[in-house]
Amino acid sequence: MKNDRKKNQRREFLSATGKALAGLGVIAGSGGLLSGSTKGEESAADATSESFPTPDYDWTKHRWAYGIDATKCIGCLRCVEACKAENDVVRDATHFRTWVERYVYLEGEEKARVDSHSDPQNIAASGSEAEYRFDNRYKDAKVTKAFFVPKICNHCTHPACVQVCPVGATFRTEDGVVLIDHDYCIGCRYCVQACPYGARFFIEEEGVSDKCTWCYHRITKGLQPVCVDVCPTRARVFGDLNDKSSTISEFVDNNPVQVLKPESGNGPMCFYIGIDKDVS
């Protein structure tokens, strides 16, 4: 059953990739939106997890980091769709390696109204837990400020999830990516509890914890994480901090960046610009 799910998702992904590439081809031809967004020339099909681990990859030579420009996110959720397909993530409303939050300030209200695509109203609007979209609930409201915030595992420098794993099944790589060895995870879910960002979830069918890997099977081949690749507005950027000319280095160097919940002491490596006081 698990294999069927994987096969189906792989098929869906390849189909979706085909459509996406066709669509993006038009965009690229008309304005070059994708130019410079990926470093490698390999196709996505070459970056499947079957060809992982990547031969000759030297993890001591990289220091990966992630950037999110909330002012650019339009809440299209292509990132969520692509991540689900690329990483065989269960297609429901409670298992996400990445998700997007919507913050809306209405006239006369001090606190933001927050929802994500997992909100029951949004699920009702999409018609399925496996389809992701934001409804149009604020159509007639007086909105003073609104923005979307993409969320993802922060791949912290001092990750609480790694600290609490009783068997060391989750670990931080030399290049700064927090991974989980699914063959060693005992499924205690202590890491899920320890992550202050809610970035981890449990795969019931497999009895193990899971989370974003920054598409480690892709980045070690010179590709971008799939969520970065499919973002039409380049709200998500990724790269190597060791490379001073990389997109992420420029993002961090040229902007006043923030991290989420710095008081946790986890040292997130996901940097934000354009987020507001209510984002946590």
Partner 1 sequence: MDIAPFTGYVYPNEGVIQWSVMIVIYPYLTGLVAGAFTVSSFYHVFGMQRFKPVARLALLTSLCMMIFVPVPLLIHLGHPERSMYSMITPHLTSAFAMFGFFAAFYMVLLMLECWFVFRVDNVERARNSTGISRAFYRAITLWSDDTSPGARALDAKLLLMLAVIGIPSAHGLHGYIGFVYGSLKARTWWESDLMPVIFLFSAIVSGVALLMVLYVVSCKIRRVKIDHGCLKGMMYALWGFLMFTLILEALAFANLVYKGREGVEVIIEYVQGPLFFRYFVLQFAIGALLPIMMMGLMVALNIKGRIFVIGATICALLVLMNVLMMRWNVVIGGQEIAKSTKGLLTYHLPLWGSEGLVAAIILTLAPFGLLLVLTRLFPPWADPPNPL
For partner 1, the binding residues (CB under 8 A) are: 92-96, 99, 101, 114-119, 151, 160, 162-169, 184-190, 192-202, 204, 206-209, 264-265, 280
DSSP 231-269: -TT--EEEEETTSTTSHHHHHHHHS--B-S-GGG-----
In a 3-state reduction of DSSP, which class is residue 130?
coil
Q: Give the residue among 278, 30, 1 at the shortest CA–CA distance from 9.
A: 1
Name the residue nearer to partner 1 (CB basis): 55 or 166: 166
**Minimal distance in Å, beta carbon 177 to partner 1?**
18
Name the residue nearer to partner 1 (CB basis): 43 or 280: 280
Note every long-range contact of 85-90, with CB atoms under 8 Å and residues 24 or more positions apart, other chains counting. 85/9, 85/12, 85/13, 85/16, 85/17, 85/226, 86/13, 86/44, 86/215, 86/218, 86/226, 87/213, 87/215, 87/226, 88/5, 88/6, 88/9, 88/10, 89/210, 90/5, 90/203, 90/205
**Minimal distance in Å, beta carbon 164 to partner 1?**
5
HSE-up of 35 (CA within 13 Å, CB side)?
8
Amino acid identity for residue 179 in this structure: L
**Minimal distance in Å, beta carbon 80 to partner 1?**
9
Name the residue nearer to partner 1 (CB basis): 148 or 251: 148
Name the residue nearer to partner 1 (CB basis): 31 or 166: 166
**Minimal distance in Å, beta carbon 99 to partner 1?**
5
**Minimal distance in Å, beta carbon 29 to partner 1?**
36
**Minimal distance in Å, beta carbon 166 to partner 1?**
4
Name the residue nearer to partner 1 (CB basis): 129 or 243: 129
Amino acid identity for residue 127 in this structure: G
Name the residue nearer to partner 1 (CB basis): 209 or 247: 209
